[in-house]
Structure 1
Amino acid sequence: MADRLTIARPYARAAFGQASKDGTLAAWSEVLARAAIAVGDPRVRALFGSPKVTDEQLAGLIADVAGPGLDAKGRNFIRLLAENKRLPFLPEIAQIFDQLRAEAERVVDVSITSAAPMGEAEQQKLVAALERRFDRKVRVKADVDPSLIGGAVVRAGDLTIDGSVKARLEKLARQLTA
């Protein structure tokens, strides 16, 4: 995976630089996401390396799937990826692009898994606390996992805050059996 990210990084940075300059970060993010999904399709993957399909045809297919938000610069970017045999790296390029965008927009994606659905006021209070802690705007993805018994688990990048009853009980069990 590290090699794929290493190959994808310069392309993602180039796309991010162009999108930043043009003020089209959101549009490029959507287009790259759709193109990455297309590249993940087994039928499209089967076309890579096929002598019957030219780079231009592949680029056209991916550009058409990417949708109407793809401008001339975006089409050139897709064509460049096709010519350099880098279309299979579109999922990683899209991932890195979104990381660069989140950094530039000072946004952090947070996953909150709770034992029961959180109320709106409860979630807003937690989001406000996380925004203070990270000094960034927080985008939340909330899930429910009844096996947590109570509390919640918050994940943001490499950081995990486990405030679940399940984790506390497991810790207590380890201490009692040690």
Structure 2
Amino acid sequence: MAELRTLARPYAKAAFKAAQEHEQLAEWSQVLTIAGQVTANKSIRQLLANPGLEEQKKAELILEVAEDGVTEQVRNFFAVLAENRRLTLLPEISALFNTYRADLERTVDIEVTAAFELTDEQQQKLAQALSTKLERKVSLAASMDKSLIGGAIIRTGDLVIDASVRGKLTKLADALGS
């Protein structure tokens, strides 16, 4: 996985720079997200691996799915990907592009898994506290998992805050076991 990210990084940076220069971050993000989802599909991956199909034709097929927001710069970007046989990197390119965009716009998506259903008021308070702590605009998605017993687990990117009873019991058991 890390090597795919390494291969995708220069393409994601180039796409991000082009989108910034033309003030089209949202459009590029939409096209790359759709293209990333399409190319992550197992059937599409098999199609992309077909040596009998021209690389440019593969790029055109992917772009047909993401009709809206396909500018000449986007078409050129996909042509370069096709020429270098890198269309299969689109899921990683999309993820990196969206990370760069979130960094620029100072936003973050956070997943909260709680042992009980969070009320709207609790979600707002949590989002506000996290926004202050992370110094970013927070978009919160909450879910419930009764196996946590109590508390919650908060995830964003590579940051995980485990404030669940199950997590604390696991830590206690590990400490007693060693």
Same fold (TM over 0.5): yes
Partner residue, 1:91 = 91
Partner residue, 1:141 = 141
Partner residue, 2:41 = 41
Partner residue, 2:6 = 6
Superposed displacement of residue 172, structure 1: 4.1
- Please give the secondary structure, in 1, of the residue aligned with 2:125: helix
- Please give the secondary structure, in 2, of the residue aligned with 1:47: helix
Partner residue, 2:29 = 29
Partner residue, 1:75 = 75
The amino acid of 2:93's aligned partner reads: I
CA distance in 1, matches of 2:171, 2:5: 36
Q: Does residue 123 in structure 1 map to residue 123 in structure 2?
A: yes
CA distance in 1, matches of 2:131, 2:68: 34
The farther-off stretch of 43-52 and 110-119 is 43-52
5+ residue gaps, structure 2: none
Partner residue, 1:160 = 160
Change (3 A) 1:41 1:173: closer
5+ residue gaps, structure 1: none
Identity fraction in percent = 45
Q: How many residues of Structure 1 are paired with residues of Structure 2 in the alignment?
A: 178
Aligned-residue Cα RMSD (Å) equals 1.7
User: Normalization by structure 2: what TM-score?
Assistant: 0.92
CA distance in 2, matches of 1:159, 1:29: 23
CA distance in 1, matches of 2:22, 2:81: 20
CA distance in 1, matches of 2:164, 2:41: 38
